[in-house]
Amino acid sequence: MEGVIVGVESTAHTLSIGMVSESGELIPSESSVFTPEHGGIHPREAADHHSLVASELVSRVMDREGFAPSNVKAISFSQGPGLGPCLRVGASLARTLSKTWDVPLIGVNHCVAHIEVGRNQTGCDDPVLLYASGGNTQVIARAGSRYRVLGETLDIGIGNMLDKFARIHDIPFPGGPVIERLASEWASGGVSATSELELPYAVHGMDLAFSGILTAAISLSEREGLGASSWSLQEHSFASCIEVSERALAHTGKTELLLGGGVACNGRLREMAEIMCEERGATAHWPEKQYCIDNGTMIAELGRREIEMGRVTNLEDSAINPMLRTDSSPISWN
């Protein structure tokens, strides 16, 4: 039987344990999402949640696939970026499994994992990644031995912005999917005059910003209602991400756009990506929803690639790095 690499994801609200076979077959994760009763995510409360569910998730994924510890070849974990207390739980779990099962440990970059799972699943080769998630919004592409950040949000992640807008309207986390439904229900009535639904549009060169649009969308919702403002919020914020992605394709000469992160589950964002790519002779790709959101499988997949290149993480180098940058992790595979 082929061995597997186990991946531990714990950067923010989700603890997720996934696997990939040594030859690169993705095995779905078992996940548990911390959802606060009120307000935003408190890192320590999320970390407590992760500790409580950790051993159950490990057993669940192993039992489901009929794997014993002897099938496991390595343990991979998110070393950063993310919320310190949450990262620490994942790292401790990974160290413990690595020691107990006597297999190598490998700490990986969460943002890079979104790219590698997308490449594995969609077959795209050298994409520009639009990484649109709760805490992160970045446009990334490979140049030489690094994935470079070509543009990114200067304030909050697009998913956080959608979640905050939702929370103001008593919609619990995650708000993004509900806003998507409200927007499409409103638009299904036909969209005509939209000048009164205009919102700020924040593209700064290759960078983005979402706090201004959030404030303006909250006032718009008081005037025009939740459906119309949800629709307009999606149109403006997604268009800004697609514009920066298009410029990234133009500057790099690459011809594939890959979507990743939880917001990449959104049908309207996917449609905009497809239209833009078609217009410029490029192709748009996205993995299945379970691999767009944070998941342990993508951490396992990046771990597999790193181990193939001979990289492992010694215990003394396994400290988490909440501020880890996408472009600080060397990339040596094809």
The contact pattern for ligand AMP, residues 178-207, with x = CB under 6 A and - = no contact, is --x---------------------------
- Map the footprint of Mg ion across residues 55-84, applying CB under 5 A: none
Identify what 177 binds: ligand AMP, Mg ion, none; CB under 5 to 8 Å per kind: ligand AMP
Smallest CA-to-CA distance from 152 within 254, 240, 269 is with 240
Helices (runs of H) and strands (runs of E) counted in the chain: 10, 12
| Residue 120 interacting partner from Mg ion, ligand AMP, none (CB closer than 5 to 8 Å by kind) | none
Of 155, 171, 275, 293, the C-alpha closest to 214 is 155
State in angstroms the smallest separation of the CB of 102 from ligand AMP: 32
| String of contacts with ligand AMP for each residue 129-168, x by CB under 6 A | ----xxx-----------------------x--xx-----
Name the minimum Å distance from CB 159 to ligand AMP.
Answer: 3
Q: How far is the CB of 332 from ligand AMP (least distance, A)?
A: 26
Place of tokens 């036909």: 190
Minimum CB separation of residue 57 from ligand AMP in Å reads 16
Which tokens in the block code for residue 195?
A: 């000048």
Q: Rule CB under 6 A: say whether 85 interacts with ligand AMP.
A: no
DSSP letters for 294-307: --HHHHHHHHHHHH
Rounded to whole angstroms, the Cα distance separating 188 from 308 reads 49
- Asked whether position 293 contacts ligand AMP by CB under 6 A, the answer is yes
Query: What distances in angstroms separate CA 113 from CA 116, 260, 322, one per listed residue?
Result: 5, 10, 15
193, HSE (Cβ side, Cα atoms, 13 Å): 3
* Residues in 85-144 that interact with Mg ion by CB under 5 A: 133
263 binds, among ligand AMP, Mg ion, none (CB under 5 to 8 A by kind): ligand AMP
Q: Which two tokens stand for residue 53?
A: 């569910």
Phi-psi region of 123 (alpha: psi -120 to 50; beta: other; left: phi over 0): left
Binding at 134: pick from ligand AMP, Mg ion, none (beta carbon under 5-8 Å per type): ligand AMP
Handedness of CA 101, 103, 107, 113 (dihedral sign): negative
Of the pair 7, 174, the CB lying nearest ligand AMP is at 174
Instruction: Pick the binder of ligand AMP from 107, 174, 227, 303 (CB under 6 A).
Output: 174
Distance of closest approach, residue 249 Cβ to ligand AMP, in angstroms: 22
**Helix, strand or coil for residue 209?**
coil
267-279 vs 226-252: helix crossing angle, rounded to 10: 40
Least distance from ligand AMP to the Cβ atom of residue 164, Å: 9
Q: Is residue 258 within 8 Å of 152, Cβ to Cβ?
A: no
| 259 touches ligand AMP (CB under 6 A) | no
Separation between Cα atoms, residue 258 and residue 260, nearest integer Å? 7
Which residues between 4 and 23 bind ligand AMP (CB under 6 A)? 14
| Contact positions vs ligand AMP (CB under 6 A) | 14, 133-135, 159, 162-163, 174-177, 180, 261-263, 265-266, 293-294
Binding site residues, Mg ion, CB under 5 A: 133, 294
